[in-house]
Amino acid sequence: MAIDPRKGKATVASKRTIQSEGSRSSQISLSLAFDMYYNAKRAEGLRERTLADCRSYWRYFLEWLEQDRPEVVEVDQITTEVVRSYVGYMMHDHTRYGSVESRKKDSRKLSPATVSSRLRAVQSMCKFWEGEGLLLSDPAAKIKPPRMDVKEKPIMTEEELSALLNAPDVDTYAGYRDYVLILLLADTGLRINEALNLRELHIDVNARCIRLPAELNKNRKPRIIPLSVTVLRELIKLVEETRSYFDTDYCFVANYGEPLKADHFRKRLLQHACEAGIDVKKKPVTPHRLRDYFCTQYLLNGGDLFTLQRIVAHADIKTTQGYVKPNEAAIRNSHEQFSLLSRIGRRRR
């Protein structure tokens, strides 16, 4: 009988568990890797604005790689050290609009909030690439965002809002439109893009509210925003006047009938603020500051936190809690009322 020459020898029948030193998970180019990530996010149904931000954040990262790390041309060459160096560059070396020829240059650095946003985008990409097997491990998983000092938001006062409302020339269509939009933002806390996408069908006159559909909401859920009688009346008047000029059902349009753009209104709002005598360097006047004003006044006038959360559509109650701080006068009045020493002082008199 023939003897099996393999008898008694070691056998390897399982999958390899140790890869050779310097082995790479893939050799996928950076552009192809991003296309895979972008197409996956688009298939998930992300909104166009989110996808546009994604493209911008990738462009910033790619421009830095081409300038500082030209040897990184494939996705598996992105290491933790590369990502950390990118964060360091954004925090200490990059200046605002440095690569934008059409923008005025200045020496100011990127804010920690901006750096954190761009880092989150890179982290999202790296996590996706790891899940798809393009990376052996996530190089950005352990990178921490920069710490930020929490600055108190300068909240607009009632006197400043009154002056701001008196600034637009309501005898012109654009001035009256701006006036109504300022009223609406201060009365409802709407985000500027939510307000500019309003159409006639979203206004429920009988219920005195705006019924915002899910596709216009940031959290993709429908919501109801109450309106005061004054704002509803002015909004209806604007809609009727707009209909007499243009064939559109948008509530806020430009002088030629197209939907009003957010940046255009921001510029006009800044002009109105300067005309109203507001120091915009110390207290910036933006559409979001009107949202801050609404939240602040709602709570100071006795509104409850949970109802406010529903109105302004915060996904987390912690966002609402951190959104509004009592003003200085409210803090002083509360301290005066409940301070033990103040009560002792009153008894002595």
pLDDT in tens, 46-105: 889 899 999 999 999 999 999 999 999 999 999 999 999 999 999 988 876 555 555 555
What distances in angstroms separate CA 338 from CA 302, 329, 334, 347, one per listed residue?
A: 19, 14, 6, 14
CATH number for the domain whose boundaries are 158-333: 1.10.443.10
pLDDT value at residue 151: 75
pTM, entire model: 0.72
Torsion of CA 190, 194, 198, 201, to 10 degrees: -90
pLDDT value at residue 100: 54
Q: Is 239 helix (H, G, I), strand (E, B) or coil?
A: helix
Per-residue pLDDT tens digits for 223-270: 999 999 999 999 999 999 999 999 999 999 999 999 999 999 999 999
What distances in angstroms separate CA 69 from CA 161, 188, 203, one per listed residue?
A: 50, 48, 53
pLDDT value at residue 78: 95
Per-residue three-class SS string for 22-82: CCCCCCCEHHHHHHHHHHHHHHCCCCHHHHHHHHHHHHHHHHHHHHHCCCCCEHHHCCHHH
Per-residue pLDDT tens digits for 202-236: 999 999 999 999 888 887 888 999 999 999 999 99
Cα gap 340→21, rounded to integer Å: 70
**Residue 330: which of 341, 321, 338 has the closest Cα?**
338
Contact (Cβ atoms closer than 8 angstroms) between residue 105 and residue 95: yes
The pLDDT confidence band at residue 7, using thresholds 50, 70 and 90, is low
The pLDDT confidence band at residue 332, using thresholds 50, 70 and 90, is confident
Cα 305 off chain centre by: 21
**What is the strand order of the sheet 209-212 is part of?**
203-204, 209-212, 223-226
What are the helix (H) ranges across the chain? Answer: 30-43, 48-68, 80-92, 112-131, 158-166, 173-188, 192-196, 229-245, 262-275, 287-300, 305-312, 317-323, 328-338, 340-348
pLDDT value at residue 71: 95
Structure tokens at 143: 């990178």
**Bridge partners, 226 (sequence order):** 209
Domain assignments of the chain as residue spans, ordered by start: 30-131, 158-333
Cα gap 168→269, rounded to integer Å: 9
Mean model confidence pLDDT for the chain: 86
* Gyration radius of the chain over CA positions: 28
Cα gap 156→164, rounded to integer Å: 10
Q: Is 204 helix (H, G, I), strand (E, B) or coil?
A: strand
